[in-house]
Structure 1
Amino acid sequence: MKLIWKYLMKYKKWFLLDFISVFGFALVELGIPTIISDMIDHGIEAQDTGYLYSRFGIMAFISVIGVSGVVLLGYCCSKISTNITRDIRNDVFKHSQSFSAAEMEKFGVSSMITRTNNDAYQIMLFLNVILKSALLTPVMMCVSVMLILQISLQLSYVVLATIPVVILGVIIVAKVSEPLSENQQKSIDHINQILRENITGIRVIRSFNKQNYEKKRFSNENDFYRDQSAKLFKLMSCTEPSFFFLMNIATVIVYYLSCTLLNTNAITLGNVVAFVEYLFHVMMSVLIFCMVFMMYPRANVSAKRIMEVLDTKPSIVNDKDCILLDSIETLSFKDVSFSYPNGEEAVLKNIDFSCHKGQKIAVIGSTGSGKSTLVKLMNRFYDVSRGSIEINGNDIRKYDLESLRAQIGYVAQKAHMFKGSIRSNICFGKPEASVEEMHHAASVAQVSDFISKRENGYLDEIAEDGTNISGGQKQRLSIARVILKKPSLYIYDDSFSALDFKTDATLRKALKPEVKNAIFFVVAQRISTIMDSDMIIVLDEGQIIGLGTHLELLKNCSVYQEIAHSQLTQKELDDYERN
């Protein structure tokens, strides 16, 4: 397996030590039967007490070496397998951080969790068996066969006849177990997916009284996983009894043939005892090797799934000659069209506009008109399908991704909170921020009052995904997070929707001096939020159907007129026009 070998080569010294410790273990397992054979033939039969004591001393010495070898072998196996599993998980996580939204959608969150945790764990189990047994079995088998042939050629035929039967059985088991292992891992993906959907969508499920449906859906998938696991375990559990049955038959045949050989003095009693021990080690070596072979399909499935992630190249990458972005002075969309991966129809068509530092730009339109998609392109979450987005006169794709996103403060449509304190969430984009800066950002975002009422203030804990605070509080904390960052381009994707009108107005007023030296981009549903914008973009079905100020659009854009009249009274419209 290329994946395992690649990571194994990072720990060559430990691997060599593991290989050396194997010989210490083999010395005990094969050396003691040989000594016992000599003790029977030359000590017990000759009643030579001195010879027996000398052999006891050698056995004790070999046992110490063997115990040291076993301890060292176990330590090396644990060290290598756990380190490799850690490296795999780190690499999968690190590589996934470079994925664009398209790659994340391809794998799915549930599958990525399974690949990072369960699949890596399966490889660790397989590695443990390989490092402990797979290196040991060839040594044990080769030496045992040599000793068997040395004792009796006739008895060795029993061993040679038994091994092919064991190997054939294992090949059949491996062939049957591979599809079962694959189904098992895919089923874990589906279980994680259902579980995740139920946890995040618990309110929707309860509001529609779909608990029983979801229980049945989870139960069905869980039953499928159980069935696949049961088949796999039954298959594996049959191998050991079958092996011992075969070994017992071989032992009986050896004892039967030995009776004839003992009568003709072709073999000694000590040789028979040693031969049975060697037979056991040969058969056990074959079994262990076969167990590794049977574990291989499952480990192979997991390795393929991990390699699929590691081999996937991110679609959004830095240009070879990328340049660093210090600040954003101008932003232009030039005939931009965009379709989502595997999407048939363009979501944005022929988008063309320009803006510069100090301007407030607003985007409004009906649901599904492409507003959120427009701002995602600015962050390079996706790349345009046609046309170009230019910053300071250069194509956005020429800039280093990290420096580009460092200049952008983005508040998503759905505010996301991380488990931790209020302080850690506000300072997420600027961990080194001072207390004064943090307080200022919270004050501008109109979240200071809420924080002051918490028992521990800024150190108060926020639950995972902010489930212990309201939607409006999450939005204001997200806004504070961006204010603290002080970017060159502020993007608020419908980030004021959960705020009441009074808080909305107060926040926007406090925000004005903060964004005066930046480009302020707002996606909104409320006309009142964007009336003072320098430029308003009206989107409909992915196209710009209106572009201008509030007053200009009231005169020449029918869609904007409909939105304005549905939200504002005639008096409010007249008052704004007079002012």
Structure 2
Amino acid sequence: MLWKLIVRYVRPSMLSLLLVVLFQFVQSVLTLMLPTINADIIDEGVLRGDTGTVWRLGVLMLALSLGQVAANVLAILFGARLAMRAGRDLRADLFGKVGDFSEQDVQRFGAASLITRNTNDVQQVQMLILMSCTMLLSAPMMAIGGVIMAIRADATLSWLIAVSVPLMLVVLGFLVSRLVPIFRQLQERIDRINKVLREQLTGIRVIRAFVQERREKARFAVANDDVTDAMIRTGNLFVLMFPVIMLIVEVSSVAVIWFGAGLVDQGELEIGTMMAFLQYLMQILMGVLMATFMTIMIPRAAVSARRIGEVLETEPTIARVVDGREQASPGTVELRDVVFRYPGAEHPVIDGVSLRAERGETLAIIGATGSGKTTLVNLIPRLFDATGGAVLVGGVDVRELDAEALWRGIALVPQRPYLFAGTVASNLRYGNEDATDEQLWRALEIAQAAGFVQQMPKQLDSRIAQGGTNVSGGQRQRLSIARALVAEPDVLVFDDSFSALDLTTDARLRSALRDAVGETTQIVVAQRVSTIVDADRIVVLERGRVVGSGTHEELLAGNDTYREIVESQMAVEA
């Protein structure tokens, strides 16, 4: 999966990759030439007192060094651009894929894990591409070229290469094999700590309300310690690695000088040649070391790539229809013998529900907690797909409708309204970017939100915190209702969207809606009977089944379940 991802996201930048290879090749060739020139300076210039040779070769060596630096800088520059583009495209594809996920798909991975995969995991793959451009390409060139040049300089000492290089590979192979499972465990533990942190930040009010700060600190400490433990074990292996590598390098250097000095003393080797051989041996070992750094990064990047691949290869449980059918009669909503069962559930949440809302009609849905009201309305905008029966919007099965057309025609005000970080205006324009200020104020007036917005310091330009945490629950609900109205949909779905409003505000809002929305179909899920008494038709749900349908008066007269709900609320209010 790792190399598949790299090839897929590097291919669009092939020109940059070719330039990286070219500059890395030039840099490696120049680097390999320097020890030979240095040897000639010592043997032919310094030892023989030939100042002209020293100057001539010294200037050449300086020019080659500058060329080496320039080639290295250009290779890193193009490599960095290539890696950053690949990371950008990978994040964009991940985000697009998650955007097509249903709620079921998101719950399968977990929001915290999806965030980690789009940030930390992508960064691991991106860093591998960058390091590949700077190390992986030059390491084999340096190692292989170093072996050739070292043997060319003096074959007598080449046995030292045959000893030191395999020894280093054995040591590094042992350490890398221990790192792979730790890296896999580390990514999973990062997921876990992100999940804990996200839960605590989201539920901070609940934590404080129940005085559970100590418990949550202990819970975070466990996740934090798990991550620390994995990182310490990784660090311990790195701590062991560097001294061992340096020991091999230093012992190899001493061996070259020891045996080389003997050959120099016997007149079989010149000092400059011995120094060149020593430099080539260092280049070979450094090439092996760079390659090893890559092998250390590859396991962690491979784990990240596998996690990224799981998301990219997941087919959404709800297949998005592109260029599907258009609505035949906008505003109509119909459910035909709809059944919905959550994966692994023993019993369906919705069982054989049939209902129909005509254009401009207000259809209310009421029932006890757990009767399936929210699940039912989530089927209309296709947040879930029915496991049986059919859901029709505009006279067409939602599974055959063009996705954009479906969502454009429906505005959902969820049970837990969410506001985005920005301003009042930016949140209201979320469904219609071209809405004028006049349209925004009209929607606010209908939603009974104009009063408190006018009292804000900058009115429409007043800041809204992420999640709308700087406004009250009732204000958040009214702003969400106003946002839905600005979109001017054919169908308005209110999922218990008036629960945080007092009875007076609720009544004024419903009255304003009735006068303002005209031909817009309203589907209202509510707990309070007072919210739905004026509905054209009320559907009563019990355990996922329709047990009553009619007006308030009809149900009150002939439906025991509805009468019990009304009487229980009247008793509470009394």
CA-CA distance at 1:320 after TM superposition:
6.8
- Quote the residue 1:311 is aligned against: 313
Matches within 5 A, 1:156-305: 156-305=158-307
Question: What's the TM-score once normalised by structure 1's chain length?
Answer: 0.96
Stretch of structure 1 that moved more, 151-160 or 96-105: 151-160
Structure-2 separation of matches of 1:58 and 1:506? 88
Distance 1:31 1:571, change over 3 A: closer
Partners of 1:126 and 1:296 within 8 A in 2: yes
Q: Secondary structure at the match of 2:557?
A: helix
Kept in 1, the 8 Å contact 2:97–2:312? The answer is yes
Which whole-Å CA distance do the structure 1 matches of 2:302 and 2:57 have between them?
47
Deviation at 1:154, TM superposition (A): 2.6
TM-score normalised according to structure 2 size? 0.97
2:523 and 2:322 mapped to 1: Cα distance? 30
Aligned partner letter, 2:407: R
Write the distance in 2 (CA, Å) between the matches of 1:154 and 1:325.
85
Which residue does the alignment assign to 1:336?
Answer: 338
Give, as a single letter, the amino acid of the residue that structure 2 aligns with 1:333. L
Partner of 2:96: 94
- The one-letter amino acid of 2:557's match is K
* Worse-superposed segment, 41-50 or 256-265: 256-265
Distance 1:77 1:287 in 2: 20
Q: How many angstroms does 1:247 deviate by?
A: 1.6
Displacement of 1:442 in angstroms is: 0.6
Distance across 2 between alignment mates of 1:433 and 1:320 = 26
* One-letter amino acid matched to 1:10: P
Shift of 1:78: 1.6
Q: Deviation of residue 152 (structure 1)?
A: 2.4
The reply to whether residue 119 of structure 1 matches residue 121 of structure 2 is: yes
Q: Is residue 469 from structure 1 mapped to residue 476 from structure 2 by the alignment?
A: no
What residue in structure 2 maps to residue 576 of structure 1?
Answer: none
Cα 1:571/1:475, change in 2 over 3 Å: closer
Amino acid at match of 2:219: R
Alignment of 1:139-538 (within 5 A): 139-319=141-321, 322-325=324-327, 328-538=330-540
Paired residue secondary structure (1:544): strand
Partner of 1:6: 8
Q: What amino acid is the match of 2:227?
A: Y
Task: Pick from 43, 46, 49 the counterpart of residue 47 of structure 1.
Answer: 49
Conserved 8 A contact 2:157-2:256: yes
2 CA distance for matches of 1:563 and 1:482?
29
* Alignment: residue pair count: 572
Once the 2 structures are TM-superposed, how far is the Cα of residue 10 of structure 1 from its aligned partner? 1.4
1:70-110, Cα deviation, whole Å (9 max, x unpaired): 21122112211122111111111111111111110011111
User: Cα RMSD (Å) of the superposition?
Assistant: 1.7
**Runs of 5+ consecutive residues of structure 1 not aligned to the other structure:** 573-579
Instruction: Report the 3-state secondary structure (helix = DSSP H, G, I; strand = E; otherwise coil) of the residue aligned with 1:232.
Output: helix
Distance 1:390 1:289 in 2: 59
Cα deviation for residue 569 of structure 1 reads: 7.6
SS in 1 for 2:523: strand
Q: CA deviation at 1:153?
A: 2.2
2:469 partner letter: T
How big is each residue's C-alpha offset from its partner over 1:19-77, in whole Å with a ceiling of 9 and x where there is no partner?
A: 11112322342222111101111112221111111101211221221121121122112
**Aligned residue in 2 for 1:26:** 28
User: Matched residue of 1:525: which SS?
Assistant: coil
Q: CA deviation at 1:124?
A: 2.2
Report the alpha carbon displacement of residue 571 of structure 1 after superposing the two structures with TM: 13
Q: Is the 8 A contact 2:41 2:58 kept in 1?
A: no
SS at structure 2 position matched to 1:532 = coil
In 1, the alpha carbon distance for the partners of 2:572 and 2:144 equals: 96
| Percent of aligned pairs sharing the same letter | 35
Q: Which runs of 5+ in 2 are unaligned?
A: none
Tell me how far 1:556 sits from its aligned partner: 2.0
Per-residue CA deviations over 1:304-347 (Å, capped at 9, x if unaligned) read 11111111111212347621337624221111100123333211
Q: Deviations over 1:186-211 (max 9, x none)?
A: 11111111111111111111121111
Q: Is the 8 A contact 1:326 1:407 kept in 2?
A: no
2:419 maps to a residue whose letter is M
Per-residue CA deviations over 1:380-421 (Å, capped at 9, x if unaligned) read: 001000111123432121101111010001100011111111
Distance in 2, matches of 1:186 and 1:553, equals: 54
Cα distance in 2 for residues equivalent to 1:22 and 1:496: 65
Check the 8 A contact 1:24/1:68 in 2, yes or no: no
Give the deviation of 1:256 after TM superposition. Answer: 2.2
Asked if structure 1 preserves the Cα contact closer than 8 Å seen for 2:140 and 2:287, the reply is yes
Partner of 2:108: 106
Q: 1:85 aligns with which of 87, 107, 111?
A: 87
Distance 2:114 2:55 in 1: 62
Report the residue type matching 1:404 in the other structure.
L
The residue type equivalent to 1:111 in the other structure is: S
C-alpha distance 269-78 of structure 1, shift in aligned 2 (>3 A): same
Instruction: Assess, with a 3 A threshold, how the Cα gap between structure 1 residues 237 and 130 changes in structure 2: closer, same or farther.
Output: farther
- Asked if structure 2 preserves the Cα contact closer than 8 Å seen for 1:489 and 1:519, the reply is yes
SS class of match (1:555): helix
State how far apart, in whole Å, the 2-side matches of 1:57 and 1:400 are: 71
Take 1:202 and 1:321, find their aligned partners in 2: how far apart are those partners?
44
CA deviation after TM superposition for structure 1 residue 183, in Å: 1.2
* Greater displacement, 403-412 / 183-192: 183-192
Distance (Å, rounded) in 1 between the aligned partners of 2:62 and 2:392 = 79
Alignment partners' CA distance in 2, 1:127 and 1:169: 25
Quote how far apart the aligned CAs of 1:129 are: 1.6
**Could you tell me whether the CA contact under 8 Å between 1:483 and 1:514 is conserved in 2?**
no
Deviations 1:171-227 (A, max 9, x none): 222221111111111111111111111111111111211111100010111011001
Structure 2: distance between partners of 1:169 and 1:369: 64
* Partner SS, residue 390 of structure 1: strand
What's the CA shift string for 1:343-374, capped at 9, x where partnerless?
33211000011221121100000011100000
CA distance in 2, matches of 1:389, 1:515: 23
Q: Distance in 1 between matches of 2:390 and 2:491?
A: 18
Check 1:236–1:54 CA distance in 2 against 1; reply closer, same or farther (3 A cut).
same
What residue identity is the alignment partner of 1:524? A
Equivalent position of 2:72 in the other structure = 70
Aligned residues of 1:318 and 1:398 also touching (Cα < 8 A): no
- Contact 1:332 / 1:352 at 8 angstroms: preserved in 2? yes
